[in-house]
Copies of this chain bind each other. A is one copy, B any other.
Amino acid sequence: MELKQAMAATEAILFAMGDSVEISDLSKALEMGDDDTGRVIAALENKYDSEDSGIRIVRLDKAVQLTTKTELYDYLIKIASAPQKPKLTDTVLETLSIIAYKQPVTKAEIEVIRGVNSDFSVDRLITYGLIQELGRKDAPGRPILFGTTEQFLRSFGVKSIADLPAPGEEKLEEFKTQAEEEADSKLGI
């Protein structure tokens, strides 16, 4: 068989099969020896080296497969996936505010404050790169401690965590005082 014809046949086979194809199977289809098939594959590789080619051959053990060139993935991404735009929902923002002001904080602590499971928000914030794991708390189960990232500081224009005005503790104290006063008045003290 002529080389060009064999190249075309091999290309068609690899294209149609999608998966990897054993060289021995290729040889059978082309009715030639494995050595000749090897030469055909080499010729194809050479052809795909050209700048105007978007595919290449991957060699796997005794098989070959067609695949797209890695450097063209950006184009594939543009057409194949319409990724969701990241968005800070109220739920996610709420979780972020707790982490920002109470860090380092565990998921369980966040959930006590919010009163709801917060897996989703925490995962989302990690994906967005706004929070990170800071280590593990020295407590039963050694839960993960979360805190904000440098990206968080940049995005919210804060120099450091210390710069964050912390209403948390004060507020909690305030609640306690309020409650104690009420209790006292009820008891008639």
A45 to chain B, nearest CB (A): 12
Q: Are A12 and B47 in contact (CB under 8 A)?
A: no
Residue-wise, chain A 29-59 has the 8 Å CB interface mask toward B (1 for contact) of 1100000000000010001001111110000
Copies in the complex: 2
- Give the docked Cα–Cα distance between A77 and B43 (Å): 23
For A53, give the chain B residue with the smallest CB separation.
Answer: B8
* In the complex, A26 has a CB within 8 A of chain B: yes
Given that A9-B72, A10-B54 are contacting pairs, would A79 and B25 also be in contact in the complex, using a CB cutoff of 8 Å?
A: yes
Which B residues are CB-close (under 8 A) to A29? 75-76, 78-79
For A21, give the chain B residue with the smallest CB separation.
Answer: B79
* In the complex, A5 has a CB within 8 A of chain B: yes
Partner of A12, one of B9, B21, B72: B72
Q: A residues touching B (Cβ–Cβ < 8 Å)?
A: 3-5, 7-13, 15-18, 21, 25-26, 28-30, 43, 47, 50-55, 66, 68-69, 72, 75-76, 78-80
